[in-house]
Structure 1
Amino acid sequence: MGELGLLRRALQHAREQEAARQRAQEQARQQAWAAQHLFEAAVGEVTPLKSGAKRHWSAPPAPEPRPVQREKDERQVLQESLSDEFDVSTLLDVDDQMSFRRPGIGLDVTRKLRAGYWSLQGQLDLHGLRQGEAREALAMFIRLSHRAGLRCVRVVHGKGLGSPGKTPVLKGRVQAWLAQKREVLAFVQARAAEGGAGALVVLLQPNRKKY
């Protein structure tokens, strides 16, 4: 009789454990369902749209990339605005072609520049531009040429044959503007085959920065 009682108690304990296990499983299922349907439970009952047409959603178009370097260059050009009142005559070497060399640059540099020692790597033609347009174009051209690592460029300003009185006004302006640019080491009048009195050959500072 004692063994029978023990067996009954063991069976009862097993049934209780099974019932507890089933309750735990049911509670876990309810929690999982609640987690999966949390949004529905929060929103409540919804009414579907009457139209049967499908709605397609797409991300908004990406913004256009900003030309950061170009904007930086333009700001720098504005900051380094060139004066029209700058007197370059005191800085020019008084020779038959009125060359310019920055202080500390020897005469041999302008001689080499005039002789074509450095190959021309770029050119800016200012024909047809107004004075303000020519100033801005020259400032940008010198800055970008220096940034690209160019050493020798040509600036064509014309001989002024179309100006009132046939006076080469732009030539003097270009000389003054170039003398104000820190990137410019020297300039000379171009050789006859390269534009003669209507152009200048410009030597730029070496650019040791890497972009």
Structure 2
Amino acid sequence: MARKPPDPPPAEDPDDAALFRDAIGPVRELPAPPLPPSKPRPRPTPRMAARDEAEAVSEFRRAMTADALEAGDALSYRRDTVAPRTLQRLRRGEFAAQEELDLHWADAKTAEAMLREFLVHARQHGLGCVRIIHGKGLNSDSKTPMLKNLVDRMLRHRSEVVAFASAPANQGGTGAVLVLLAQKR
């Protein structure tokens, strides 16, 4: 039997990409994508503001210690509405303290909170005279009686305080202060 002749070699298939380009027609090239953003620059350091802040803190500390009370200094203050004679009587201990607050060994933050709470409590209960023991500051690291100065500053700014003076020697001397409070309205 005769053999069948081999199939003719297949015709070359046209390039698929060329067929696609012929089918869609002319195209325009897309622009190149933008480059990714670069690493952001660091924020500028506010050196002048930091220096000004440091100077302000330093000046504040200097001002606080410039008129600071020493260990043996006596506290004394009265509002204009209080007679000078009343302050003299307070210094001599003629007013009986109805309550007492001892701030020994408290740090400044704790002492401030305790003093605020104590004065609010005294005002709410209608107390007229209280004693605050702040100590003489002889064991203070800074050689300035921190609690004594804190008590002095705070009492001067409290509206319920009308006068205060260091206690007589038999009630604590310069390590304690007697405080007259305004009458509860």
Compute the TM-score of the two structures, normalised by the length of structure 1. 0.52
Aligned counterpart, 2:166:
189
1:152 corresponds to which of 111, 116, 129:
129
Who is 1:128 aligned against?
105
* 1:100 and 2:77 aligned: yes
Q: Which runs of 5+ in 1 are unaligned?
A: 1-83, 91-95
Query: 2-side partners of 1:169 and 1:199: how far apart?
Result: 13
Match of 2:119 among 142, 151, 160: 142
Q: After the TM superposition, which residues 1-211 of structure 1 pair with which residues of structure 2 at under 5 Å, given as runs?
A: 97-208=74-185
Please tell me whether the aligned partners of residues 108 and 146 of structure 2 are also in contact (alpha carbons under 8 angstroms): no
Q: For the Cα contact (< 8 Å) 2:75–2:164, is it kept in 1?
A: no
- Following the alignment from structure 2 to structure 1, what is the Cα–Cα distance between the partners of residues 114 and 162? 19
AA of the residue aligned to 1:115 = R
Q: CA-atom RMSD, angstroms?
A: 2.4
Partner-residue secondary structure (3-state), 2:77 = strand
2:81 alignment partner, SS class: coil
Runs of 4+ in 1 over 6 A off after TM superposition: 84-87
Instruction: State the Cα deviation string for residues 61-81 of structure 1 (Å, max 9, x = none).
Output: xxxxxxxxxxxxxxxxxxxxx
TM-score normalised by the chain length of structure 2 = 0.59
Q: Distance in 2 between matches of 1:171 and 1:98?
A: 9
Deviation at 1:170, TM superposition (A): 1.4
- Offset of residue 121 of structure 1: 0.3
| Matched pairs, number | 119
Question: Could you tell me how far 1:165 is from its partner in structure 2?
Answer: 4.8
Structure 2 counterpart SS, 1:193: helix
DSSP-derived class of the 2:135 partner? coil
Which is helix-richer, 1 or 2?
A: 1
SS at match of 1:164: coil
**How far apart, in 2, do the equivalents of 1:142 and 1:126 lie?**
13
RCO (CA 8 Å, sep 6+): is it higher in 1 or 2?
Answer: 2
Report the secondary structure of 2:180's partner residue: strand
Output the CA distance in 1 between the equivalents of 2:152 and 2:108: 13
